[in-house]
Amino acid sequence: MSGAGDLVSVVVPVYDGAHLVGRALASIAAQTHPAIETIAVDDGSTDDSAAVVEAWPGGATLVRQANAGVAAARNAGVAVATGEYLAFLDQDDVRLPEKLRRQVDRLSSDGETDVVLVRQRPVIEEGVEPLATLRPDRVYGDLGGVIPTTLMVRRETFHRVGPFAEDFTGRDDLDWLLRARVAGLGIAVIDEVLMERHVHADNQTRGIDWMQVMLDTVTRRVAERRGQEPGG
């Protein structure tokens, strides 16, 4: 079972999210797991995002950088993390209270599991069209709300796989997960909704067919790493 010594570092990339990030930080503060380090990385925001983080009463480490994309922001957060475990939360999403505890319990009790994901549910604002990324995956079908950024991984395992690919920003999380699979890591899914993905008019993936983009570009990247031609 998880304990106070199982420190989880939660990395929150923030870009022009002053009106959103407080909700994400509140969901971290509401976790039942007792040991959490919150790291918010302001990716060159033009609004008051950094000020919101600095004023957050629950306490969060703020890292500032020039705008370089979400992958670079995640990597910057990992670089200062001190926890045994790493987890990630986008500025407009929310984790349910048991998420981190359940994932730590799984990693600490199952020697064959290196990465743990959870299920999510979309929360769609009134009058907003669902995202294209919420459609069933073209290869695996209905994933039941599992996305790469729900993951938790031991920090040393993360470094074995390597950082998020900054030239793949926006689909860097899926690229990382596929690299983890190619490396032979054990990847498990807790069959329970422990995250909420908030769908609103300002989602950065809106209007883009990311499912096809991810399939094409990430498949090519993984094939290159394995020394194969795509489709070979």
Q: What is the pLDDT of residue 139?
A: 44
Confidence band, pLDDT 50/70/90 cuts, at residue 217: low
- Residue 53: the pLDDT is 97
Q: 36-43 and 8-14: which strand pairing?
A: parallel
Q: Return the ∠ at Cα 55 (arms to 69 and 23), rounded to 5°.
A: 65
Of 96-110, 148-162, 205-219, where does mean pLDDT reach its minimum? 205-219
pLDDT of residue 174: 84
Kindly state the percentage of the chain with pLDDT values over 90: 60
Residue 73: pLDDT band with limits 50, 70, 90: very high
Q: How confident is the prediction for the chain on average, in pLDDT?
A: 84
d(CA 152, CA 8): 9
- Res 3 pLDDT > 70: no
Residue 164: pLDDT band (50, 70, 90) is very high
Tens digit of each residue's pLDDT (9 = 90 or more) over 168-200? 877 788 889 988 998 999 999 998 999 988 764
pLDDT at 146: 75
* Backbone φ and ψ of 176, nearest 5°: -65, -45
Greater model confidence, 131 or 105: 105
- Going by pLDDT thresholds of 50, 70 and 90, the confidence category of residue 124 is low
Distance CA 216, CA 230 (A): 9
Question: What integer pLDDT is reported at residue 214 of this predicted model?
Answer: 58
User: What CA–CA distance (Å, rounded) separates 156 from 74?
Assistant: 16
Q: Report yes or no: 49 and 16 within 8 Å, Cβ to Cβ.
A: yes
Residue 167's pLDDT is what? 86
Backbone angles phi, psi at 27, to 5 degrees: -70, -30
Per-residue model confidence (pLDDT) at position 87 = 98
In this prediction, residue 118 carries a pLDDT of: 94
Kindly give, in sequence order, each residue whose CB lies less than 8 Å from that of residue 55, ignoring residues fewer than 6 positions away.
Answer: none
Q: Can you give the pLDDT at residue 160? A: 97
H helices present in the chain, as ranges: 21-29, 49-54, 70-80, 99-109, 155-161, 172-182, 210-225
- Residue type (1 letter), 149: T
Q: What pLDDT, in 10s, does the model give residues 81-112?
A: 999 999 999 998 999 999 999 999 999 999 99
176-195 as b/e: b if 16+ CB within 10 A: bbbbbeeeebeebbbeeebb
Residue 76 has pLDDT above 50, yes or no: yes
